[in-house]
Chain A
Amino acid sequence: MMANRLFSPIVLVALCGCASAPIVLDRLPETEAPMRAAEELGAARVPQAALELKLAQDEVQQAKTFAKDGNKPRADMLMLRAQADAELAVALAREAPLQVEAKNATEAVKLMQQK
């Protein structure tokens, strides 16, 4: 009984605290997955992909700041921007080596046909 009286204000404070807790970034997994994929595909070696990845990383950081300040609409929008940048980074990182491989194969065929 005594314990209940002692703890009830603490519980109240904790509940009040929940109201101002930082906002959770709903889209974090959808954004972090392509960011990791872009890194693994070697986006750092493809300038345009590296730029898109950097933009995505910056936007996620900005979104986290807005979320911390309680501005959920702005944070959500920045996460959507980051996701779009990250997905483009993945595509560009995939495209660059594939273009080189296609060109090499085509060129090899041309040279062999001249023989």
Chain B
Amino acid sequence: MIRAIRNISLFALPAFGLACATTDPPRELVDARAEYQAANNGVAAKMNPAGLYEAKKSLDQANKAFEQEPGADNTRDLSYIALRKVQLASAQARIDVASQEKTAAEREKAKLEAKLTQSELAEVRRKLTEAEEQRRAEAAQLQSTSQQLEAEKQARLAAEKKADEATANLAKIAMVKQEARGLVITLSGSVLFSSGRSTLLSNARPKLDEVAAALQKSDAEKFVVEGHTDSIGSEATNEDLSYRRAGTVRDYLIERGVPAEKIKAIGYGKSRPVADNATAEGRANNRRVEIVIQPKSQLTARPD
């Protein structure tokens, strides 16, 4: 179920702005909320309440944007800014704490220095140098780890951005909607194939490239390519044509990098119309290829 919800947010909702309770908040907003909670329970609440208040205002703005436009760039950006403001409030509080500690320690140090002999002071200095060297080595190790983690985080954010772009591109070339059987991407038959044929039109390839890019970024376990026809012609002919067309699309998507083990093709012929076959417009709508993205537990594909 969680996976299904993630799929919905990945493809359909950002593309169509269909805000609903199932839309996940962007990672930046989740991080900002968590950081604010931590800061509010930590040193920032005591040392830098003004900074934390500014951060809270920024977070409120991000939360409001999420309620109004969950998938918008604006929401992500406001969340990012809120996260940085919380981090800034915490950093400023840590600066104040460190500054106070330093002042107090230096005052105490001056008092103690007056009481120690030269040799005692020399020994203290030697030990301090050793401790500092050890700390420097530990810090270098910590920095290396933190840089690695940050690099991984940036790579993940870049991948998410690419997924969003793929979704936006997909919405320009196909209809995408959430149904009980899964997320459905519908491509018009006339866009993909000539009448009665199952060879892809050259114009179809860029569109399927966009679909392939989006599918590769989905974490769904299975994709089903369904071929559908109108009611003209015999059942056997239509079923065969729809299956061949679905197979052509499946093969092309595999060629473009969609894992073969995740994708199946089914031909439904004229058995599942979405519009009235009595009109030319209805028949055009019925001639289509649908790509269904569904969780494994819902998979109903026939073996091909």
Chain A residues with CB under 8 Å of chain B are: 47-48, 51, 74, 77-78, 80-81, 84-85, 87-88, 91-92, 94-95, 98-109, 111-113, 115
Which chain A residue shows the least CB distance to B113?
A: A112
Q: SS class of chain A's interface: helix, strand, loop or mixed?
A: helix
Question: Given known contacts A87-B88, A105-B102, A112-B116, is B146 in contact with A80 (CB within 8 Å)?
Answer: no
Residues on B with beta carbons closer than 8 Å to the beta carbon of A51:
147, 150
Residues on A with beta carbons closer than 8 Å to the beta carbon of B84:
81, 84-85, 87-88
How far does the Cβ of B127 sit from chain A's closest Cβ, in whole Å? 6
B46 within 8 A of A: no
How far does the Cβ of A47 sit from chain B's closest Cβ, in whole Å? 5
| Contacting pair A91 B105 (CB below 8 A) | no
Residues on A with beta carbons closer than 8 Å to the beta carbon of B106:
105
B109 within 8 A of A: yes
> In the complex, A68 Cα to B132 Cα: how many Å?
50
> Contact mask B141-179 → A, CB, 8 Å, 1/0?
001001100100000000000000000000000000000
| Contacting pair A81 B116 (CB below 8 A) | no
| Contacting pair B95 A91 (CB below 8 A) | yes
B244 within 8 A of A: no
Q: SS class of chain B's interface: helix, strand, loop or mixed?
A: helix
Query: Looking at chain B, what size class is its interface with the partner chain?
Result: 35 or more
Which chain A residue shows the least CB distance to B136?
A: A100
> In the complex, A18 Cα to B106 Cα: how many Å?
61
| Contacting pair A109 B95 (CB below 8 A) | no
| Contacting pair B124 A98 (CB below 8 A) | no
B74 within 8 A of A: yes
| Contacting pair B81 A99 (CB below 8 A) | no
> In the complex, A71 Cα to B85 Cα: how many Å?
25
B204 within 8 A of A: no
Contact partner, A98, options B87, B99, B113, B143, Cβ 8 Å? B99
Question: Given known contacts A87-B88, A105-B102, A109-B108, is B146 in contact with A48 (CB within 8 Å)?
Answer: yes
A-B contact pairs, 19 of them (CB 8 A): A47-B150, A51-B150, A77-B74, A78-B77, A84-B80, A84-B81, A91-B88, A92-B91, A95-B91, A95-B98, A98-B102, A101-B98, A102-B99, A102-B102, A102-B105, A107-B131, A109-B109, A111-B124, A111-B127
